[in-house]
Amino acid sequence: MAWKSRTRNLQVFDTELSADTVEWCPVSSSHDILVCGTYQLQKGAGEEDATPSRTGRLYLFEFQREASMSPPLTELQRMDTAAILDLKWCHVPVSGQPVLGMAAATGELQLYTLSDSQEGSRILQTLSSVEVGTERLALSLDWSTGRMDSSDVRVVCSDSAGCVSVLSLAEGALTSLSRWKAHDFEAWISAFSYWDTQLVYSGGDDCKLKGWDLRVGPSCPTFTSKRHSMGVCSIHSNPHREHILATGSYDEQVLLWDGRNMRQPLSESPVGGGVWRLKWHPTHQHLLLAACMHNDFHILHCQQALEGSGGACPVVASYILHNSLAYGADWSRLSLEELAPCSPPSAEPKECLIETGEHLRIQYESPTASFDTSLEDEAGRYIPEGTAAPSTTPAAGPALHENTSSLSGLLASCSFYDHMLHVWRWDWASDEARQESEQF
pLDDT in tens, 140-172: 999 999 999 888 899 999 999 999 999 999 988
pTM: 0.86
Is the predicted pLDDT of residue 314 greater than 60, yes or no?
A: yes
Is the predicted pLDDT of residue 346 greater than 80, yes or no?
A: no
Mean pLDDT of 342-371: 35
Classify each residue of 119-139 as buried b or exposed e, where b means 16 or more C-beta atoms within 10 Å of its C-beta.
Answer: eeebbbeebbebebbeebbbb
What is the reported pLDDT for 120?
84
Length of the chain: 440
Give the pLDDT band (50/70/90) at residue 118. confident
* Closest C-alpha among 111, 110, 165, 97 to residue 133: 165
Give the pLDDT band (50/70/90) at residue 434. low
What is the reported pLDDT for 403?
57
Residue 357: Cβ-neighbour burial (10 angstroms; 0-12, 13-18, 19+): exposed
* Closest C-alpha among 294, 263, 185, 164 to residue 230: 185
C-alpha–C-alpha distance, residues 287 and 294, integer Å: 21
C-alpha–C-alpha distance, residues 350 and 210, integer Å: 41
How many domains are contained in the chain?
Answer: 1
Work out the percent of the chain whose per-residue pLDDT is above 90.
72
Give the pLDDT band (50/70/90) at residue 308. confident
Please give the C-alpha separations between residue 371 and each of 103, 134, 186, 365, in angstroms, as whole numbers.
20, 20, 11, 6
What is the reported pLDDT for 98?
98
CA 201 to chain CA centroid, Å, is: 17
Is the predicted pLDDT of residue 101 greater than 50, yes or no?
A: yes
Domain of residue 270: give its range.
3-438
Give the pLDDT band (50/70/90) at residue 69. confident
Q: Give pLDDT tens digits for 251-297.
A: 999 999 999 999 999 999 999 999 999 999 999 999 999 999 999 99
Least confident of 48-52, 62-66, 161-165, 376-380: 376-380
- pLDDT, averaged across the chain: 85
What is the reported pLDDT for 42?
85
Query: Would you say 269 and 234 are in contact if contact means Cβ atoms under 8 Å apart?
Result: no
What is the reported pLDDT for 259?
97
Q: Give pLDDT tens digits for 19-39.
A: 999 999 999 999 999 999 999
Please give the C-alpha separations between residue 336 and each of 67, 127, 179, 210, in angstroms, as whole numbers.
11, 32, 42, 38
Is the predicted pLDDT of residue 394 greater than 50, yes or no?
A: no
What is the reported pLDDT for 380?
31
What is the reported pLDDT for 432?
60
* Closest C-alpha among 223, 190, 188 to residue 205: 188
Kindly report the CATH number assigned to the domain that includes residue 303.
Answer: 2.130.10.10
State in Å, rounded, how far the first CA of the chain is from the last one: 22
CB atoms within 10 A of CB 115: 12
CA 384 to chain CA centroid, Å, is: 24
49 vs 195 pLDDT, higher one: 195
Is the predicted pLDDT of residue 248 greater than 80, yes or no?
A: yes
Is the predicted pLDDT of residue 384 greater than 70, yes or no?
A: no
Mean pLDDT of 389-407: 53
Is the predicted pLDDT of residue 71 greater than 60, yes or no?
A: yes
Is the predicted pLDDT of residue 361 greater than 90, yes or no?
A: no
Q: Measure the CA dihedral 131/134/136/137, to 10°.
A: 20
Is the predicted pLDDT of residue 430 greater than 80, yes or no?
A: no
Is the predicted pLDDT of residue 214 greater than 80, yes or no?
A: yes
What is the reported pLDDT for 47?
63
Query: Would you say 379 and 104 are in contact if contact means Cβ atoms under 8 Å apart?
Result: no
Give the pLDDT band (50/70/90) at residue 119. confident
Give the pLDDT band (50/70/90) at residue 3. confident
Mean pLDDT of 411-425: 97
